[in-house]
Amino acid sequence: MAGPTSRRIRAVAALAWQANPAATTGAVILGVCAGLAPVVTAWLTKLVLDALARGDGAARLVPLAAGLAVTGLAVIVLPHVADYAQAQLRRDLRLLIYDRLFRAVNTHPGLSRFENPSFHDTLRLAYESSNNAPDRLVVGTLMIGQAVITLSGFVVTLLAVNWIMVAVIVVAALPSVRIQLVLSRERAEMMWDITPAMRRQIFYGDLLTRPEAAKEVRLFGLGDHLRGRMLREVRGINRAERDLDRRTLRSQGVMALLGSAVAGGGLLWAILSAASGGITVGDVTVFVAAVAGVQGALTTIVGQWADAHNALLMFGHYTQVVEAGPDLPVPADPAPLPALREGIDLRDVWFRYSHEHPWILRGVDLFIPAGRTVALVGVNGAGKSTIVKLLCRLYDPERGHVRWDGVDLRDTDPSRLRERIGAVFQDYMEYDLSAADNIRLGDLKAGDDRGRVQDSARQAGIHDALTALPRGYDTMLSRIFGDRDDQSGVALSGGQWQRLALARAFMRRRQDLLILDEPSSGLDAEAEHEVHTSLRRYRGDRTSVLISHRLGTVRDADLIVVLSGGQIIERGTHEELMAAGGEYARLFTLQASGYDSPGDGRSPGDGRSSGDGRAQEAEGPGSPDGSPPGREPGAEAGLTDGDSPRTATPNTRSAGR
Ligand SMILES: Nc1ncnc2c1ncn2[C@@H]1O[C@H](COP(=O)(O)OP(=O)(O)OP(=O)(O)O)[C@@H](O)[C@H]1O
DSSP output for 312-354: HHHHHHHHHHHTS--SS---SSPPP-PPPSSEEEEEEEEE-SS
Pairing state of beta strands 421-424 and 559-564? unpaired
What span, in angstroms and rounded, lies between the C-alpha atoms of 378 and 423?
A: 20
- The 10 Å CB-count burial string (b at 16+, else e) for 126-138 is bbbbbebbbbbbb
Q: Are 42 and 154 in contact (CB under 8 A)?
A: yes
pLDDT confidence of residue 479? 67
Q: Which residue is closest in CA terms to ligand 1's atom 9?
A: 386
16-42: pLDDT as tens digits = 899 899 988 988 888 788 878 878 888
pLDDT beyond 80 at 642: no
Section 135-161 average pLDDT: 78
pLDDT confidence of residue 343? 94
What span, in angstroms and rounded, lies between the C-alpha atoms of 294 and 171?
A: 12
What span, in angstroms and rounded, lies between the C-alpha atoms of 340 and 344?
A: 8
Among 385, 548, 563, 640, residue to substitute to test ligand 1 (most atoms within 8 Å of Cβ): 385
pLDDT confidence of residue 266? 76
Does residue 382 have its Cβ closer than 6 Å to ligand 1? yes
The widest CA-to-CA distance across the chain, in whole angstroms, is 126
What span, in angstroms and rounded, lies between the C-alpha atoms of 556 and 534?
A: 14
Q: How confident is the model at residue 646 (pLDDT cuts 50, 70, 90)?
A: very low
What span, in angstroms and rounded, lies between the C-alpha atoms of 140 and 148?
A: 12
Query: Residue 375: beta bridge partners?
Result: 546, 560
Q: Are 310 and 301 in contact (CB under 8 A)?
A: no
More confident residue, 31 or 486: 31
Q: What is the pTM of this model?
A: 0.70
Q: How confident is the model at residue 15 (pLDDT cuts 50, 70, 90)?
A: confident
Report the percentage of the chain scoring pLDDT > 90.
Answer: 25
What value, to the nearest 5°, has the Cα angle with vertex 15 and ends 9 and 17?
105
Q: How confident is the model at residue 395 (pLDDT cuts 50, 70, 90)?
A: very high
ipTM of this predicted structure: 0.97
Q: Which of 39, 29, 40 is nearest to 296 (CA)?
A: 39
pLDDT beyond 80 at 442: yes
348-368: pLDDT as tens digits = 999 999 888 999 999 999 999
Among 384, 554, 653, residue to substitute to test ligand 1 (most atoms within 8 Å of Cβ): 384
Does residue 640 have its Cβ closer than 6 Å to ligand 1? no
pLDDT confidence of residue 567? 95
Does residue 385 have its Cβ closer than 6 Å to ligand 1? yes
pLDDT confidence of residue 555? 85
Helices (H), 117-222: 117-161, 163-209, 211-219
328-349: pLDDT as tens digits = 888 889 998 888 999 999 999 9
pLDDT confidence of residue 611? 34
User: How many whole angstroms from its chain centre is CA 208?
Assistant: 21
What span, in angstroms and rounded, lies between the C-alpha atoms of 165 and 34?
A: 25
Q: Are 500 and 461 in contact (CB under 8 A)?
A: no
Q: CA torsion, points 153, 154, 159, 160, in degrees to nearest 10?
A: 80
Average pLDDT of the chain to the nearest whole number? 80
Does residue 381 have its Cβ closer than 6 Å to ligand 1? yes
Query: 447's torsion region: left (phi>0), alpha (psi -120 to 50) or beta?
Result: left
